[in-house]
Structure 1
Amino acid sequence: MLILPSFTLYKESKLTERRIGVFLASTILLFAFLMAQSIIIKNELHGTFGRSIVDMLMASIGIMGVWLFIVAIFLLSMTLLVESSISDFLTFMKPAFTKTKIKEYKGEEEEKSIFEEKKTKSSSKKQTSFSEPKIILNDDTPDENPAIITPLYPENEEPHKPLVRLKSAKKVEILSEVAENTKLLSEIDQGECDKPKDFKLPPLSFLANPPAKAIHVNESEIDQKIQDLLEKLRRFKIEGDVVRTYSGPVVTTFEFKPAPHVKVSRILTLQDDLAMALKAKTIRIQAPIPGKDVVGIEVPNQKIETIYLKEILESEIFKKSSSPLTIALGKDIVGNAFVTDLKKLPHLLIAGTTGSGKSVGINAMLLSLLYRNSPDTLRFLMIDPKMLEFSIYNDIPHLLTPVITKPKQAIIALANMVSEMERRYQIMSRSKTKNIENYNEKAKSIGVEPLPYIVIIIDELADLMMTSGKDVEFYIARLAQMARASGIHIIVATQRPSVDVVTGLIKANLPSRISFKVGQKIDSKVILDAMGADSLLGNGDMLFTPPGTSGLIRLHAPYTSEDEIDRVVEYLKKQRPVVYDESFLKESEEGFSSASGSKDSGELDELFDDAKAIVLNERKSSISYIQRRLNIGYNRAATIVEQLEAMGILSSQNAKGQREIIV
């Protein structure tokens, strides 16, 4: 029982805790067997050594105490022996049966110490990858290079048994394409986009050229980050392996496959620790990546590449898109151009704090639309309560009205846009067409002027919600619900995506969302229904949720300078003078008739006077209070409160949902 462990210790020059533990356990087990043998066997073959130990102990603790002692040391020895797996024990014993030491087992001590987590390797000579199956490393790689980690399992193969692989010269796979993004881009309709006949689109020469020399993938930097990442995870007793990476202009994504017993929630809690270990400003952990058994860890690059709008507009995917409402969003995490069709979104909700790149991203979307459409096919309705963002676009021929800066005018314009939507539906109903595309095709064939697309852009929703929240919410929801087929689309942006600005009704009708960097986790939860936007880098870094998908797509918006926008705007102004439709800024009873249920009824409730007296006398205006006092249903009480508001007795709801008594 001691021959094999002793011989192994003799042949192995390096002593480890595991080898000493196995030898010690074998010795204790031998003593337990000798003592048990001397008690069970009654003749002279019971063994003198074991009997002498038993006699010495029996004098002190008796026969039962001796048996308890034997059982205790037996359990102790078995605990030491089975601390490692059976395969580890066999591997430990294998040198005793071989004439020469196998080179592949040279680094085995470090590998097993990782699994036992008894010590952390501080040297950077080797990087051991580990996982549920055992991996055997080769020592052929020079010591100065970091270890190279290979995938655990071959592609599309179920892990039915442990795989033993030698470390080869092949590094972790760096992919140049994201399968999920490629699938989304393949759904974009491709074909020839109709070019205007009597209008010249701006040339691409107005846009800045990207630098001639692009930043290449720094493989040594990626290898070092993998080494630091795995080292930090091991310190927190998280086993796993990096199976593939995606390197792009801004971030590098590592797909980390944890061991089966590791909880994903444990990895999420280490975001700040991993950021410190990788010397990163911030990192984002996607745990898990939808449809995969890996965790995505996105780390900023040391050198961040600037993305230019010209790169996106010159890309094949943008050129081949047949939709006139194709908008350029930027590049994905591997540096491929990413675009989307506004018709399929069909509306967009955008959030981002100051300095996050929100305005730059919106400008890129506007320019990409201007590079594909004439004023005959696309008109804009721009609402800018801050009076700064869209002023540069004033007087371009695509504008339906001047840039709207006053909240009251914005409400009137939105109300009239609802009327325009209803008018278009009446026209399409008479022509027996289902959407604007079918109507325009039919209009061309019969010589009728086609209907242009209309894109409504609201830069700061919070300012409108503070002044006329109820009306703004109603009109946005109404347009978002019904305007798609009529060719009217909405892009809404806000700096403060709180629940009183981005209400549930607005969120329900704007399923496609983009979030640039936000200040708090709760803001990310409001805009995206998920965490992560608070971990973005700013400067155009964003998360995009396409309709019908549960995952988040990380993109980087292209940069557009004011000089580029000025050149495009001046060129468009020279092409054609602007013709505004002032009817959208005129107040009409039709437009406001639907904003409140009390305004179109024309009749007051029978209990209106009683409710008015209660409010004025008792100075309480809540719906539930009126409901209790008048003994009526909630809906009827709510209608009476709205009528009191319409008559000027109560104010509109504030941010807390309360109304003030004006009279």
Structure 2
Amino acid sequence: MTAERRSLVLRILSVGAFFAALFLVASLVTHTWSDPPGAAPATIHNICGIAGAYVSRALLTVAGWANYLLIAAALAVLGAYITRGEVSRRYAVLVVCAAFGLFLVLSLFSYDAATDPHRSYSHGQPAAWNNACGFLGSVVGYYLFSYVGVGVWFAVLAGFVALAATIARFEVTDRVLRGIGVALLVCFASTLAATLQEHGAVRPDPNGVLPEGYGGLLGLFLTKHLLVNFGSVGSYLLLAFVALVGLVLSTDTVILLFPLAIYRYLHKRRLARFDALRQASDRILNGFHAAREAMTAGAVATAAAATVKRAQPKIRRNGKDADAEEAESPKERTAKASAAKAATAAATTQEEPEPQAQPEPQKPVVRVAPKIRLPKDRAQQAAAGDERPSREKFKLVDAAEGPGESAPAYGFPPLDLLDPPEELDISGEEVTIRQNAVNLEGTLKQFGVEAEVVGIDTGPVITQYEVNLGAGIKVGKVISLSDDLAIGLKTSSVRIVAPLPGRGTIGIEVPNQHRKTVNLRESIEDGLPLSKRCNLPLFLGKDSAGNPLVRDLASMPHLLIGGTTGSGKSVCLNSIIMSILYTRSPRDVKFILVDPKMVEMTMFASIPHLMCPVVSDMSRVQSILEWLISKMQERYGLLAEAGVKNIVGYNALTREQIIEKFKPTSEEDQMRLTYHMPYIVLVIDELADLMMTCAKEAEAAITRLAQKSRAVGIHLILATQRPSVDVVTGLIKSNHPCRVAFQVASRVDSRTILDSMGAEKLLGRGDMLLMQPGANKLLRAQCTYVSEKEISTVVEHVSKGNKCEFNRELVQLKAKPPAASRGRGASSGGGDDDDSAFAERDDMYLDAVRVVLQHQRGSVSLLQRKLGIGYGRASRLIDFMAEDGLVGEYQGSQAREALISLDEWEAQRGEGDGVPVAAGGADDDEDDNEDDDLDDPS
């Protein structure tokens, strides 16, 4: 049987089973026992007619209401057979087991010993089986209670626990031992029930529900032998031992959790009581100290009063005798009396001080534990309304297509090609994090710094403790204690951020015990909403708080990366390139990759975004930089003629608007117009190698591009593992405001990249500091990790059906000779004398001839736009061409006609190569300059 026929049969079976299930359910729901067998169809109340009445009567008599469970189990089994999936089979088995368990519970609960399962079935007595599951339930209940007794409930409970563990995907080990434990518990329950019934401890079953008593035949058998061989006390001891062994075997160490929980509860109560006693003692001591201070103040006042009293008699003794006192004048006696009264009043005031209001006792300060702030997980994002990333969302991120032409088909890689994210779980580290907060406060206090941890931000690699300093504490003092804090926290390094932006606190960053890898899939999923506002989104990783770090290369507009070997620099470059591959098509972005190591970027050699093969010869990079400068000048001319300010405005123009602004004179000129400008991203993996090859020329070219190329969509990404001042010069650094520093060897290297220290304290393996334009603080983050396997898979996907369309100019660019041997007239082919003669007229004559013959029209405006020269010089060049017979006579407002082709002119000069036409549209073939004219791109 073929696969199609088998699929058809399965579909027919599924439809038939579905309708059969509907028939059975409808028959059971509308069944009434008043429908007699053989009645007329008009008197049948069942909606399924006579067939439904017969079927429902038979099913309810045999299985009762358990028929619904049987139908559900049958449908689950059929669904598993149809889908033939492992997951479907697993759920079908679970449904069958659950249905069987519910059937047992209903049978046991509704069992009635008055029902005799051995008597014959009678149609005249449809309710003879007084059981919810009918005849089958009555039989099952009878035999289980007869043989096992009440111990059967242990077996049913164990079955449901096993089913719940399977549904929860909890791995159950040592199943044989656990089964033996359940069997021991069943024997214990049956034997204990039979023993208690034998001793009269429990009353016999008044309703006669249990046919053979509480313990069943199993309990009666075991009880008989136990009482004969061990007696009553020995039987109970043996049963207790069997119960303990059964619990240990069936539940493992779970049984030990109960006494442990009781111990913890009592221990907490004892600690709470101890805390209450300590607080009471503190209040008593505080009262004692207050009373002692009051007594001390009273003693001081009494001593002062006594001093005044002693001073008064002394004044009298030191005065004159009685005769002299009588001889004093009345004025003198009056003045002395006034002074004595004043002294007495002062003494009285000190002796009896005014009662002061007693301050209210201060309430004990309750310290609130710092809150641990976690990054929003995926469950919270889903609850907040963020959908999981899909292919439709990536379409929203893609750059808009040119209005006048359709983009070539580009298969964006799906997220399934990337490794799934690693979940962050700090539940086990919460105790360590809070203990570090306590240790941090203690270490600061040892150095005389009063501080309090008020917040904790957990990230994938580090945890930042937000610390509030006490009054009068200088921030510089805390910063100088970074090494001491690292020793106190027993970690490799500690970085201090002071102050935190927008807060009156400082941040102390401490490495986590377990680092979490941030892969590209996680960065894209979490940062996709932020990337919608970016022209060139880069998923760089996550910051110290665990939030996605997404930046726009178009607004940076260039990036400088530095770090030692193994710190994550090359992985960062890979993640940047992969970010572009996931969000932009080859029509929107073009890459020029420079890899002097010849091993770092070879994995991207087949992506359709490349403008030329991966460059490993650093002597060609200078020519590439000069070509980019000429391309920048050309694009600025196009923007000026189109009347827009940047590449975004130019790409927003429609085809009709571009034709209207440029006014082409022929269909050929109209086809050569540039309707869409792609972004060009130059990635240099090792800047130090380039600076060793041609330092002066490279620095000048990089500086000029960094200063002017943002508006025309040309962006530079420079990386180096030797961030010294001779590689990252002042001009290069000042024109790259956005910089990334990975772990470096010294503070000097950190200052070279970031103008500040801190990169020497990084942890390596992707731990980085990001300097952003306009931000006064460095941002610490964990870089996105991309494995070689992921890169190979994604590159293979994007390369299918998308060929690399290289730019011929870039491919044919020659390596620049040393500056001393390079000159205007030095060329290796024939025609050296002609070049010298042409140069005597104008040193740009050869370039002008190439432009005119390539476009087959002698236009002054064309030369102005292509060569960046004035009107007078362009007119003289056209006149020289007319004298040489290259163009025709003057035709007014129309362009002069080219009389020969470019190939004929090159053949006349002995150069058969010609000027290649660039691949990729008119945007690439409008500026075809040889190495000669790139020496002075202005």
**What's the TM-score once normalised by structure 1's chain length?**
0.64
1:278 aligns with 2:489: yes
8 A contact 1:309–1:364 mirrored in 2: yes
Do the aligned partners of 2:464 and 2:509 also contact (CA within 8 Å) in 1? yes
Contact 2:375 2:459 in 1 (8 A): no
What is the CA distance between 1:175 and its match in structure 2? 3.2
Answer yes or no: is 1:578 the counterpart of 2:578. Answer: no
Other-structure match for 1:137: 365
Q: Is the 8 A contact 1:352 1:516 kept in 2?
A: yes
Distance 2:303 2:824 in 1: 95
Q: In 1, Cα distance between the equivalents of 2:632 and 2:296?
A: 84
Q: How many pairs align?
A: 468
Q: Counterpart amino acid of 1:40?
A: A
Residue 497 of structure 1 corresponds to which residue in structure 2?
723
Please give the alpha-carbon distance, in whole angstroms, between the structure 2 residues aligned to 1:220 and 1:337: 26
CA contact (8 A) 2:536 2:553 kept: yes
- Per the TM alignment, residue 410 of structure 1 is displaced from its structure 2 partner at its CA by 1.1
2:409 to 198, 201, 206: 198
Residues 215, 249 of structure 1: 8 Å contact kept: no
How many Å apart are 1:194 and its aligned residue? 3.7
Change (3 A) 1:232 1:28: farther
Conserved 8 A contact 1:352-1:358: yes
Q: Cα–Cα, structure 1 residues 210 and 388, in superposed 2: closer, same or farther, change >3 Å?
A: same
Q: Secondary structure at the match of 1:242?
A: strand
Instruction: Give the conservation status (yes or no) of the 8 Å contact 1:512–1:545.
Output: yes
Q: Cα–Cα, structure 1 residues 213 and 45, in superposed 2: closer, same or farther, change >3 Å?
A: same
- 1:584 match: secondary structure: helix
Offset of residue 528 of structure 1: 1.1
Query: 1:248-647, aligned counterparts within 5 Å?
Result: 248-315=459-526, 317-318=528-529, 321-442=532-653, 444-445=655-656, 446=658, 448-584=674-810, 586=812
8 Å contact 1:417–1:584 — kept in the other structure?
A: no
**Aligned counterpart in structure 1 of residue 312 of structure 2, from 41, 47, 66:** 41
Question: Which portions of structure 1, spanning 4 or more consecutive aligned residues, are displaced by more than 4 angstroms?
Answer: 10-32, 43-46, 212-217, 443-448, 585-589, 598-602
Return the letter of the residue paired with 2:680: I
Whole-angstrom CA distance in 2 between matches of 1:413 and 1:21? 87
Deviation at 1:279, TM superposition (A): 1.6
**Residues 324, 369 of structure 1: 8 Å contact kept:** no
Decide whether aligned partners of structure 1 residues 444 and 309 sit closer, same or farther in structure 2, where only a CA change above 3 A counts: farther
Structure 1 letter corresponding to 2:643: K
> How far, CA to CA, are the matches of 1:231 and 1:275 in structure 2?
13
Q: Equivalents in 2 of 1:337, 1:249: separation in Å?
A: 11
What is the distance in 2 between the residues matched to 1:467 and 1:320? 38
CA distance in 2 between counterparts of 1:406 and 1:539 reads: 29
Matched to 1:306, the amino acid is T
Q: Is the 8 A contact 1:318 1:339 kept in 2?
A: no
Q: SS state of the match for residue 313, structure 2?
A: coil
In the TM superposition, residue 272 of structure 1 has moved relative to its aligned partner by: 1.0
Q: Once the two structures are superposed, what CA deviation does each residue of 1:13-37 show, in whole Å capped at 9, x if it has no partner?
A: 6599988996997599569737743
1:243: which partner in 2? 454
Q: What CA deviation, in whole Å up to 9, does each residue of 1:70-112 have, x standing for no partner?
A: xxxxxxxxxxxxxxxxxxxx99x86xx9xxxx7x76xxxxxxx
Q: Distance in 2 between matches of 1:223 and 1:534?
A: 27
Q: d(CA) in 2 for partners of 1:360 and 1:543?
A: 15
Superposed CA deviations along residues 356-412 of structure 1, whole A, max 9, x for unmatched, are 111111111110101112211111111122222112111322111111112211111
- What is the CA distance between 1:492 and its match in structure 2? 0.7
For 1:489 and 1:41, locate their aligned partners in 2 and report how far apart those are by CA, in whole Å: 96
Query: Is 1:175 equivalent to 2:373 in the alignment?
Result: yes
Distance 1:260 1:19, change over 3 A: same
Q: What does the per-residue CA deviation read over 1:216-269, in whole Å, with 9 as the maximum and x for residues that have no partner?
A: 584322221111000000000001222222112211111111112111111011
> What whole-Å deviation, never above 9, does each CA across 1:177-208 have from its counterpart, x for those lacking one?
69xxxxxxxxxxx9653475511111111111
Distance 1:319 1:296, change over 3 A: closer
Give the letter aligned to residue 740 of structure 2.
I
1:564-592 deviation per Cα after TM superposition (whole angstroms, max 9, x unaligned) = 00111122222312122241255589x99
Structure 2 match to 1:132? none
Compare 381-390 and 482-491 and name the one that shifted more.
381-390
Amino acid at match of 1:432: G
Match of 2:790, SS state, is helix
Q: 1:201 to 1:462 in 2, by over 3 A?
A: same
Counterparts of 1:358 and 1:17, CA distance in 2: 66
Q: Which residues of 2 match residues 114-193 of structure 1 at below 5 A?
A: 136-138=364-366, 149-150=367-368, 171-176=369-374, 192-193=397-398
Q: Is the 8 A contact 2:613 2:811 kept in 1?
A: no
Structure 1 gaps of 5+ residues are 1-9, 47-89, 106-135, 139-148, 151-170, 179-189, 603-663
Q: CA deviation at 1:337?
A: 1.3
> Compared with structure 1, are the counterparts of its residues 405 and 320 closer, same or farther at alpha carbon in structure 2 (3 Å cutoff)?
closer
Question: Are residues 337 and 213 of structure 1, via their aligned partners in 2, closer, same or farther at CA, if it must alter by over 3 Å?
Answer: closer
The SS at the match of 1:442 is coil
Amino acid at match of 2:372: I
Q: Tell me the distance in 1 between the aligned counterparts of 2:306 and 2:597.
A: 90
Q: Determine helix, strand or coil for the equivalent of 1:227.
A: helix
Deviation at 1:449, TM superposition (A): 3.6
Scaled by the length of structure 2, what TM-score is found? Answer: 0.46
Deviation at 1:536, TM superposition (A): 1.3
CA deviation map 1:28-76 (0-9, x unaligned): 9569737743663226999xxxxxxxxxxxxxxxxxxxxxxxxxxxxxx
Alignment RMSD = 3.6
Percent sequence identity is 38
Give the Cα–Cα distance (whole angstroms) in 2 for the partners of residues 39 and 601 of structure 1.
Answer: 117
Contact 1:215–1:305, Cα closer than 8 Å, also in 2:
no
Q: Which amino acid in 2 is paired with 1:285?
A: I
Structure-2 separation of matches of 1:216 and 1:173: 14
CA distance in 1, matches of 2:611, 2:632: 14
Cα 1:352–1:13 shift into 2, 3 Å: same
Counterpart-to-counterpart distance in 1, 2:288 and 2:435: 29
1:436, CA displacement in angstroms? 1.2
The 8 Å contact of residues 379 and 400 in structure 1, kept in 2 or not, is answered as: yes
Q: Is the 8 A contact 1:415 1:592 kept in 2?
A: no
Q: Is 1:226 aligned to residue 454 of structure 2?
A: no
CA drift at 1:317: 3.6
Q: 1:40 to 1:500 in 2, by over 3 A?
A: farther
What corresponds to 2:41 in structure 1? none
Q: Which residue of 2 aligns with 1:153?
A: none
CA contact (8 A) 2:746 2:760 kept: yes
